[in-house]
A and B are shown apart, each in its own frame.
Chain A
Amino acid sequence: MNKSTLHIAILESSKIICEGIQAILYQSDMDCRIRRLGTLDELIELLESNPVDILIANPLQFVNREKEIRKIRKSYPSLSIAGIDFGMMHKPSTLTDVTFTLYDSSEHILHLLLKLDKKSQSHSNEKEGEENLTRREVEVLTGLVNGMLNKEIADALNISIHTVVRHRKNIAMKTGIRSQSGLTIYAISKKIISIEDIDL
């Protein structure tokens, strides 16, 4: 099968913005089909019967509906979400995979979307293969299973708490283990810590 059509849904109530994004996509050589949606509920309905590879969304649509978004991500793991940044978001949203602003160039936006496409194709292989933790991640993990708090780990390694959190996320993603007690068993089986250090 050659390169398949990309199914893109745009969740944005502003007609101007919607048409703008649509124009950028259609003028590119990207092979895509675009659906326009006004509400999150329309998205949920669409997903039930149609494939969607990429959702481009105004993050305001997600306000107070974070749980539903997580549920959607869980039910449709191959769906990628690109958020439109209106300059009001101060921290990167955890609900989106990438964001772009209304002032980004068309090339930049297309580039981001294409990258997302690749990601959704290699989604399943990417998770495996990448089990090996970096040295820093091992250090963070060691702190974690020794019961250190984020702040303590950050101080000990001389990095910011934000970085510790990022490492923790990566550890969870690579190992598939999320709980601290589960990570302890992981660390022992990988001989990162010795079982003698743990009281049974």
Chain B
Amino acid sequence: MADLIDGNPYLLLMLQHFNIDFRVSDRTLLQLCHQYGISERLFLSIANLYNGSGTGGEQPFTRKDLLQVIDFLKSSHNYYRFDKYPQISAYIRQLQENHPEKELKLLEKFFNEYFTEVREHLDYEDEVAFPYFITLLGDDKYKNDRQVYSSREYSDHHTDIELKLKDLKNLLLKYITIDNDLDLRRKLFMSLYELEFDLYIHSLIEETILIPSGVDIEREQNE
């Protein structure tokens, strides 16, 4: 596994979201899966996404897999909420303080509004969508309570939270004039790219693993 991390350090993000310690020693991928009770299929599907191949979906995942997917997604939410967005926010704040251009004030406002939207998105998933899926994956006794919501409904309202991130990146790359301060600006860019990368895969997992599996289970149960 250490070789794989060497080849693509972004896999560290994946390990963290799976709650796997970075000190993987000489363990192989398989041994690591065993140690943490994660199925090889699930681990590989997600690792492939991080390595830029595969689309994630289509294979049948077990209920245990899917519960782990939800834990993975929740853990990513906390990484966005408490680590990545606050970090970016701090950089933008610093940039705004260093440069008098009024555009930067606007940029900060833009980012804060965006962060609020993202938080709403994450809260909604944590409080409404994921609990629904957890119940769906659980015992049949709750069957009647859950008719009010469905995977489709989640899918229909699933917004694209990467859109404004792209805007932000383009504004900084192409339009807003700031001179010098390259250290700070590079750090900001690197954070934006790291976030964009993880967020893209995150949405893919939600849309190509979680939602289709939910739809399948609902279909089964309605038969």
Contact = CB atoms under 8 A, between A and B. Distances in A.
A107 B125 CA distance: 51
B28 interface: no
Interface residues of A, number: 23
B105 interface: yes
Interface stretch (B51-59, B76-84, B185-193): B51-59
B170 A189 contact: no
A176 B175 CA distance: 11
B22 to A, nearest CB: 29
Given A44-B58, A67-B155, A71-B55, A182 B207 contact: no
Contacts of A41: 58
Contacts of A175: 170, 174
Interface string A1-41: 00000000000000000000000000000000000000001
Nearest to A64: B152
Given A195-B103, A200-B102, A181 B113 contact: yes
A182 B175 CA distance: 11
Contacts, number: 67
Contacts of A67: 155, 207
Contacts of B208: 71
Interface string A62-93: 00000100010001000000000000000000
B175 A185 contact: yes
B163 interface: yes
Nearest to B104: A185
Contacts of A178: 163-164, 166-167
Interface string A112-137: 00000000000000000001000000
Interface in A169-189: 175-179, 181-182, 184-186, 188-189
A15 to B, nearest CB: 26
B44 to A, nearest CB: 14
Given A44-B58, A48-B53, A190-B175, A182 B167 contact: yes
A175 B55 CA distance: 29
Considering residues B105, B155, B166, B167, which has the most beta carbons from chain A within 10 angstroms of its beta carbon?
B167
A184 B106 contact: yes
A198 interface: yes
B33 interface: no
Contacts of A48: 53-55
A114 B170 CA distance: 31
B36 interface: no
A195 B100 CA distance: 13
Nearest to B212: A68
B47 interface: no
Interface string B23-65: 0000000000000000000000000000001110010000000
Given A178-B163, A179-B163, A188-B106, A75 B55 contact: yes
Contacts of A189: 103, 171, 175-177
A119 B96 CA distance: 40
B106 A177 contact: no
B110 A71 contact: no
Nearest to B106: A185
Contacts of B164: 178-179, 181-182
Given A179-B167, A185-B176, A189-B177, 6 more contacts: A48-B55, A131-B174, A176-B174, A182-B164, A185-B110, A186-B171
